[in-house]
């Protein structure tokens, strides 16, 4: 959840009820491209391509995410994870391709209360208390009276910050600071929670506590898309998206990944896929074949069952 709103005073933050569209400068998207919810996956991306000048950041990336799962987006720093997440939440316009989120085009107006976004940098006000931050953002989201207080109390409990509710955020530890940002993203009970490296730089105990929170949310039906460059976090995910250099190397559950590669752990499997994909690209280049991306063709996938299908990029190149 970013903090695009004007800076509040301490007292004002706790009691103000302001129109969120005026605070954030949000513009209503009238091109929803809504689809019946039915059996649709939480996220379906088709041929996403993003360039920064002449440098490709995402290269024809396609994937689907089933609902109610924890999906790990794993890859080294600089491989395009943040750009991909920005496409999913609708703040990055791709140069080609599109994303469907919960049956709507990414960034569509109906998704504003259904998608939570936690950025890498904590996006809360350090000199306000936990409660003041939450009351301010709840008011900015249009909550009033008992509904606002109910939401604030609920999320403080969900992220285990009850004992620190009256503390200024600046006095909290790194893990507690991250949990405040997570609490803001949970105010509207999102159906999809997108988190950009939420555990980076945290000690193992704090990381474990955060993952317990993520697992509780998934058990309640929330779909979580979590990016990380720490491969051992794969063990905590229901499904994995592995990226390198703007390309999707694999989309599969952990067991299918290890079985397909014959490796003992996810890090070894990732390195194996990198080598195999590089060799496949080299063979294709020798045949003068254009290899713009290593992504599956998912346009014919109508619903969530197909989102369960494992995909390995190198299998598309022979």
Question: Is 4 a member of any domain?
Answer: no
pTM over 0.95: no
Phi, psi of 181 (to 5 degrees): -60, -40
Question: Is 121 a member of any domain?
Answer: yes
Question: Is 127 a member of any domain?
Answer: yes
Instruction: Find the mean pLDDT for residues 143-172.
Output: 94
Question: Is 131 a member of any domain?
Answer: yes
pLDDT at 37: 52
pLDDT tens profile 51-91: 999 999 999 999 999 999 999 999 998 999 999 999 999 99
Instruction: Find the mean pLDDT for residues 144-158.
Output: 95
Instruction: Find the mean pLDDT for residues 138-146.
Output: 92
Say if residues 148 and 154 touch (Cβ distance below 8 Å): no
Question: Is 21 a member of any domain?
Answer: yes
Q: What is the mean pLDDT of the chain?
A: 82
pLDDT at 307: 53
Question: Is 77 a member of any domain?
Answer: yes
Which of left, alpha, beta for 201 (phi over 0: left; psi -120 to 50: alpha)? left
- Domain of 38: which CATH number? 3.40.50.300
Residue-range definition of the domain harbouring residue 64: 10-316
Question: Is 3 a member of any domain?
Answer: no
Distances from the Cα of 249 to the Cα of 49, 161, 240, 258, 266, angstroms: 15, 38, 10, 14, 13
Q: How many domains does the chain have?
A: 1
pLDDT at 17: 46
Question: Is 92 a member of any domain?
Answer: yes
**Where does the pLDDT of residue 204 fall: very low under 50, low under 70, confident under 90, or very high at 90 and above?**
confident
Show the tokens assigned to 64.
């689907």
Give me the percent of the chain exceeding a pLDDT of 90: 58
């Amino acid at each position: 959840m970013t903090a695009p709103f004007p800076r509040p005073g301490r007292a004002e933050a706790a009691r103000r009820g302001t129109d969120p569209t005026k605070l954030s400068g949000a513009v209503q998207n009238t091109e929803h491209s809504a689809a019946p919810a039915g059996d649709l996956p939480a996220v379906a991306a088709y041929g996403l391509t993003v360039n920064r000048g002449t440098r490709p950041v995402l290269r024809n990336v396609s994937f689907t995410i089933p609902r109610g799962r924890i999906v790990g987006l794993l890859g080294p720093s600089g491989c395009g994870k943040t750009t991909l997440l920005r496409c999913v939440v609708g703040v990055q316009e791709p140069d080609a391709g599109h994303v469907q989120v919960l049956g709507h085009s990414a960034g569509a107006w109906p998704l504003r209360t259904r998608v939570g976004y936690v950025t890498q940098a904590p996006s809360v006000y350090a000199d306000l208390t936990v409660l003041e931050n939450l009351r301010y953002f709840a008011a900015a989201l249009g909550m009033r009276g008992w509904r606002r207080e109910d939401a604030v109390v609920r999320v403080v409990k969900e992220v285990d910050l009850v004992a620190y509710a009256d503390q200024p955020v600046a006095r909290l530890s790194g893990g507690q600071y991250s949990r405040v940002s997570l609490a803001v993203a949970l105010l509207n009970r999102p159906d999809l929670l997108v988190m950009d490296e939420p555990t980076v730089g945290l000690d193992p105990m704090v990381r474990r506590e955060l993952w317990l929170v993520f697992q509780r949310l998934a058990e309640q039906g929330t779909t979580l898309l979590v990016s990380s460059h720490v491969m051992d976090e794969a063990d905590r995910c229901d499904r994995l998206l592995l990226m390198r250099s703007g390309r999707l190397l694999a989309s599969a559950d952990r067991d299918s990944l290890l079985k397909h590669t014959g490796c003992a752990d996810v890090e070894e499997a990732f390195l194996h896929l990198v080598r195999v994909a590089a060799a496949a690209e080299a063979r294709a280049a020798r045949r003068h074949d254009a290899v713009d991306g290593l992504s599956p063709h998912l346009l014919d996938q109508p619903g969530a069952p197909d989102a369960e299908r494992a995909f390995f990029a190198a299998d598309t190149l022979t």
